[in-house]
Amino acid sequence: MRARMVHGLAALLMLLTVVATVTGARADGVIVVTPPDCDPGCDTPVYIGDQLMVKNHHVDVTIDNQLATTEIDQTFHNPNDWVAEGTYLFPVPDGATIDQFTMTVDGKEVEAQILEADEAREIYEEIVQSMKDPALLEYIGQNIIQASIYPIEPGDDASVQIRYQQVLASEGGVVHYRYPLNTERFSAEPIEAVSVSVQVASEEPVRAVYSPSHEIVVDKEDENHFTAGWEANDVKPDTDFDLFYTLSGEAIGVNLLSYWSEQDDQGTFMILAAPGIPAQETAISKDVIVVLDTSGSMEGEKLEQAKEALVYILENLNEGDRFTIVEFSTGVRLYENELLDASEAQEAIEWVERLESDGGTNIDEALTEAMDLVDEERPAYVLFLTDGLPTEGETDTPDILDNVSDVAPENVRLFAFGVGDDVDTVLLDNLVAEHSGASSYVRPGERLDEAVSAFYAKISTPVLTDVELTIDGVDTEEIYPNPLPDIFAGSQLVIVGHYKDGGKATIELSGKIDGKETTYIYEGQTFVSTGETTSTESLPRLWATRKIGYLMNQIRLQGEQKELTEAIIDLSIRYGIVTPYTSYLITEDDILTKTGREEAAQESYDAAVAAPMEASGGAAVDAAATSADMAAAEAAAPVQFTEGDVELRAIGDRAFLYKDGVWTETTFDAETMETVKVEFASAEYFELVAEHPELAVAFSLGDRVIAIADGVAYEVTT
């Protein structure tokens, strides 16, 4: 069987669906297709581009008290005019016990067998040598399932179903599930439909649910059950699906994830803080002040949607909440000059429905009036909706900021909604930065009422305000977000930062509950150190994404600074994150050297000084939204950069730049580092992969690669 399969591999390798991560790569399936027979003595034909297609890929997962059952359903399509047959290979995830593997082709079930890692290694190495294709290197070290594919007629489909179980470990109250979904490099065409659904039942209460890899939708039935899902159409998935959820019986569950980078000699941590579902009697009462722009430019649909948003807020106040409304245009009008109980909201709704648009935009007076209404003894949230620039009263941005700060109590949180592209993004973003809030931008064609109501639903029930974090026992630095926001029921706070040395630490999360200081203490938290491995290699890129967002915001609000630009360029190249400066990868030949990055930063600074960005307009709103999204990201920014013959790709905590036919790890500096050359597919090449498994994924990129292991740069040559 093995000899026949290897003969087919040497003849032609057609990869359909492959999954990988930086270490311990996983695959959801590889089909190796044997080409059509030809006359004896002829060269084996290679059908470039005639690969099988993946039509759909659906994954259903059930996790019952950490016993995960994964069921996979894939459909492959043969678009060729010749019959396809070959071998299906499925690298087995670590710790997974395959209790059932079935494959059907035209309704017929196919038997499968498991090959141990050593035998699988021989197969992979033969593929690399015979096909001059290193793609399968990343699977070395894993067991594989092997099954023969019955002939797939031209135009027909092959349906593959797999079912396997594994026990998920809980480390520090954090449960991690990973499904291999990285197919970007090997799918012949985009997949028509891809979905992952995870249903979890747990005896211990679930707090945070988090994916660093995908934008998941989470539906929590109660504290013990939830469903998380992701789906897409016409895509080539390029990232494994990672799901973390935390278990805790505490009122606020705090759980730690950490990762140590040997290359950077530093650690990155994430803290997930999520509350339980509070009973009505324990919910914190709050004050809500809505500041609504009714100037002439709000006429029509914008004002109608703003009214609908305001009605939603008033109808969803909690018992014990208070509210009022500040309407402004040329002048300012208060619904009442005091905060009213939530029970009086119906009359306010009738008042809102009678509002009309007219006049200019007096932002300064509206916000100072609103701040005068804030009660310093209660959590206070000011929601500010506007579609324009200040045109009445004080119109100078620095003076408006000073005036608002002079009257705003420390307990107030200001949230701004900019409607359309004519808003002053610098003013709005400075306002929210100075008053511990956030800004959102509703673009033309988007619905304001949906944006505001969705946001209010998240902040409707605060459970801890004036939040502060203390970590004792480990030196930490560069923590984001800073300052920390309030914690709300149904939400979770994701905190990331760096640390210098690992070890045991005590985490303290403190804040106020109904004005009373409260501290939650979590002892015995482990920050991993050198030599310790974890499956959290995405954390450094998430930290870098947030820092880049913070730096980009600083440049927008305070003006271009060469040092900040250089820091963004360094981070974007090191971690493979697309930024407005990514174009320098094309224009600068020596961008991977310190000198090249300094020159790029100087060039960017000179250009920005010559043509400063406007505070309003489509480009300004784009920049504001991008920096805000990155600064608050819960997943690392995806890499989607390909320009001509240049490509940037992130793999775990490493990044590679493809330029001039070579994949180069972005931490390589030709000015200061020499390379050790190794011939592609040589004995030394495979020995190196065995000695340094982290090189397997790097080498799988191609036959010309520069990658670093233990401080040594290895250059693969042909």
Place of tokens 């609504």: 292
Q: What is the pLDDT of residue 159?
A: 82
Confidence category of residue 639, pLDDT binned at 50, 70, 90: low
Round to whole Å and give the CA distance between 154 and 150: 13
**pLDDT band with cut points at 50, 70 and 90 for residue 17:** very low
Prediction pTM value: 0.86
Backbone angles phi, psi at 353, to 5 degrees: -65, -15
Range scoring the smallest mean pLDDT among 185-194, 294-303, 316-325, 563-572 = 185-194
Query: Which of 164, 147, 155 has its CA nearest to residue 103?
Result: 147
Q: Is the pLDDT of residue 706 over 60?
A: yes
Q: Which of 57-61, 89-93, 610-614 has the highest mean pLDDT?
A: 57-61
The CA distances from residue 650 to 116, 134, 640, in Å, are 30, 18, 10
What is the CA angle 229-90-37, rounded to 5?
125
3-state secondary structure of 323: strand
pLDDT above 50 (res 449): yes
Q: What is the pLDDT of residue 162?
A: 82
- Give the three-class secondary structure for 491: coil
Of 344 and 599, the one with more pLDDT: 344
Model pLDDT, residue 9:
28
- In DSSP terms, 95 is beta-bridged to none
Residue 610 has pLDDT above 50, yes or no: yes
Mean pLDDT of 4-10: 30
- Cβ distance 37 to 63 under 8 Å? no
Higher pLDDT, 585 or 185: 585
pLDDT greater than 80 at residue 642: no
Is the confidence at residue 361, as pLDDT, over 60? yes
CB 652 within 8 Å of CB 556: no
Residue 185 has pLDDT above 60, yes or no: no
Please tell me the predicted confidence (pLDDT) of residue 37.
55
Q: What integer pLDDT is reported at residue 282 of this predicted model?
A: 65
The distance from CA 7 to its chain's CA centroid, rounded to whole angstroms, is: 42
What pLDDT is attached to residue 382?
98
In the chain, the percentage of residues whose pLDDT exceeds 70 is: 88
Angle of helix 425-434 relative to helix 618-631, nearest 10 degrees, comes to 30
C-beta of residue 56 within 8 angstroms of C-beta of residue 193: yes
Please write the tens of the pLDDT for every residue from 362-420. Answer: 999 999 999 999 999 999 999 999 998 999 999 999 999 999 999 999 999 999 999 99
* 542, burial (CB in 10 Å: exposed 0-12, middle 13-18, buried 19+): buried
pLDDT of residue 95: 65
CA-based nearest residue to 273, from 248, 254, 249: 254
**Backbone torsions φ then ψ of 211, nearest 5 degrees:** -125, 120
- DSSP string of 551-620, one letter each residue: HHHHHHHH---HHHHHHHHHHHHHHT---TTTTHHHH-TTTTSHHHHHHHHHHHHHHHHHSPPPSSSHHH
Among the ranges given (214-223, 579-588, 647-656), the one the predictor scored with the smallest mean pLDDT: 579-588
Structure-model confidence comparison of residues 112 and 48, the more confident one: 112
Residue 279 pLDDT grade (very low, low, confident, very high; cuts 50, 70, 90): low
Asked which of 153-162, 198-207, 386-395, 442-451 is least confident by mean pLDDT, the reply is 153-162
Question: Does the pLDDT value for residue 299 go beyond 60?
Answer: yes
Does residue 21 have a pLDDT over 60?
A: no
Distances (CA, A) of 440 to 11, 417, 677: 56, 5, 51
- State how far Cα 425 lies from the chain centre: 24
Beta partners for residue 67, in sequence order:
64, 167
Say whether pLDDT at 613 is over 80.
no
* Helix (H) or strand (E) run with residue 11 in it: helix 2-11
Q: Is the pLDDT of residue 588 over 70?
A: yes
Average of per-residue pLDDT values in the chain = 86
Look at residue 638 in the predicted model and tell me its pLDDT: 66
Confidence of residue 23 (pLDDT cuts 50, 70, 90): very low
Task: Show the tokens assigned to 203.
Answer: 């005896």
Q: How far apart are CA 267 and CA 356, in angstroms?
A: 55
Min mean pLDDT across 40-44, 158-162, 436-440, 674-678 is at 40-44
510-567, pLDDT tens digit by residue?
Answer: 999 888 999 999 999 999 999 888 888 999 999 999 999 999 999 988 888 889 999 9
Q: What is the predicted pLDDT for the residue at 76?
A: 84
Query: Is the pLDDT assigned to residue 63 strictly greater than 70?
Result: yes
Helix axes 618-631, 539-558, angle to 10 degrees: 140
Query: What pLDDT is recorded for position 157?
Result: 86
pLDDT at position 301 is 92
CB 495 within 8 A of CB 270: yes
pLDDT above 90 covers what percent of the chain? Answer: 56
Per residue in 130-165, pLDDT tens?
767 787 777 777 778 777 776 788 888 888 888 888
